[in-house]
Amino acid sequence: MKIQNVNLENKTVLITGVAGFIGSALANELLRTVPSVCVIGIDDCNDYYEVELKEYRLSEIEKLAKKHGRCSFKFIKGNIADKTLIDSLFSEYKPAVAVNLAAQAGVRYSINHPDAYIESNIIGFYNILEACRHNPVEHLVYASSSSVYGSNKKIPYSTDDKVDTPVSLYAATKKSNELMAHAYSKLYNIPSTGLRFFTVYGPAGRPDMAYFGFTNKLIKGQTVQIFNYGNCKRDFTYIDDIVQGIKLVMTRAPEKKNGEDGLPVPPYAIYNIGNSFPENLLDFVQILSEELVKAGVLPSDYDFEAHMEFVPMQPGDVPVTFADTSKLEEDTGFRPSTPLRTGLAKFVRWYKEFYKI
């Protein structure tokens, strides 16, 4: 197991994409559990999905920061593609750890909106790397994605597998992030760790994700599309597991050392964070429907079958995602463990309260 070589107590942590699903959950976790931490968050709060949800997440962080008086939270509204802003932010706050979670998400959206992915995922991440180069950090942690595995046939997906066949621009930008981070780690000795997330879900999640979108449509009496005629499996990973994994990784930066040539060996690592238990899409829909009825969000006589449409695979999608998390477990002792039903039940309870159903 890797030793903890980064202490977060009394440190400044930068979280980009702090109004996002994972970013806000991480900010809350740090404010709850790390004494005297100062969280600096940046987000442009764009309208890719409902801005009200992002504002809600930010308000929850603010409440928590006030509750834990020795901790602090500072929010900056801005775009990581703005190099001047990012440089000034690093110069002023000098974060010890930077966690880059800002990105244009969504596989299908990337098919028709490529510019958003180049701006945020490529230019924005370059700005973060440059800022870490000129304002050294103890550790840069950044979001990659399970989508980098593309059309790989071998499962479970291992970080030792080749990932040279992306099937969407989103996946290509995430693979680019890994390559860029490796280059900067080698050239400037920046300790960096990439995290390949697998289908993250939970309360206050992203409305463009299946579980959230299905719920919205079912409540409105609309039809939900079941892709690949239901022959899909996803490694659903609950948000609390994701955040716990990120926090453990943050405190374990890759070691700086020189090679035989006297030059730095890149202090660089990649991990999968997934539940390591792919669920069939139809089983997932069944569990979600049962929890929606149980919570009183939908009536017990709701005709779910009448609201399902089986359709072919969509461009950019893959039939199966399945994480090999042995490397993460070996280095941190952590393995995601929340069962799908438990996580979906928590999401449904949050949904009912948030939308006042």
Closest by CA to 185, choosing from 142, 246, 140, 118, is 140
- What is the Cα–Cα distance from 205 to 237, expressed in whole angstroms? 12
Question: Among 70-74, 81-85, 260-264, where is mean pLDDT lowest?
Answer: 260-264
List, for residues 209-218, the tens digit of each pLDDT value: 999 999 999 9
Residue 39 structure tokens: 């969280």
- Mean pLDDT, to the nearest integer, of 88-96? 98
pLDDT score of 227 more than 90: no
- Give yes or no for a contact between 39 and 13, defined as CB atoms under 8 angstroms apart: yes
- What is the Cα–Cα distance from 36 to 73, expressed in whole angstroms? 11
In a domain, residue 72? The reply is: yes
In a domain, residue 134? The reply is: yes
List all residues 6 or more positions away from 72 whose beta carbon is below 8 Å from its beta carbon. 37, 38, 39, 65
In a domain, residue 6? The reply is: no
List, for residues 323-357, the tens digit of each pLDDT value: 999 999 999 999 998 999 999 999 999 999 999 98
As a whole number, the mean pLDDT across the chain is: 94
Instruction: Return the bridge partners of 43, or none.
Output: 77
Domain that holds residue 89: 12-202+235-276+321-338
- 46: domain CATH number? 3.40.50.720
- Mean pLDDT, to the nearest integer, of 187-193? 96
- Mean pLDDT, to the nearest integer, of 265-281? 94
Cα 254 to chain centroid distance, Å, stands at 20
Number of compact structural domains in the chain: 1
List, for residues 23-74, the tens digit of each pLDDT value: 999 999 999 999 999 999 999 999 999 999 999 999 999 999 999 889 999 9
- Crossing angle of helices 83-93 and 125-134, in 10° steps, is 40
| Residues identified as active-site | 170
Name the band, by pLDDT with cuts 50, 70 and 90, for residue 316. low
In a domain, residue 110? The reply is: yes
- What is the Cα–Cα distance from 59 to 72, expressed in whole angstroms? 14
Specify the 3-state DSSP secondary structure of 285. helix
Residue 329 structure tokens: 């477990």
pLDDT score of 228 more than 90: no
- Crossing angle of helices 340-354 and 281-294, in 10° steps, is 50
List all residues 6 or more positions away from 47 whose beta carbon is below 8 Å from its beta carbon. none
Q: Omega of the bond prior to 264 within 30 degrees of 0, cis? A: no
In a domain, residue 138? The reply is: yes
In a domain, residue 212? The reply is: no
List all residues 6 or more positions away from 55 whose beta carbon is below 8 Å from its beta carbon. 19, 45
In a domain, residue 357? The reply is: no
- For residues 228 and 127, the model is more confident at 127
Specify the 3-state DSSP secondary structure of 118. helix
Residue 356, judged by CB atoms within 10 A of its CB (0-12, 13-18, 19+), counts as: exposed
Q: Please say whether the dihedral angle defined by the alpha carbons of residues 195, 175, 150 and 24, taken in this order, is positive or negative.
A: positive
In a domain, residue 288? The reply is: no
pLDDT score of 230 more than 90: no
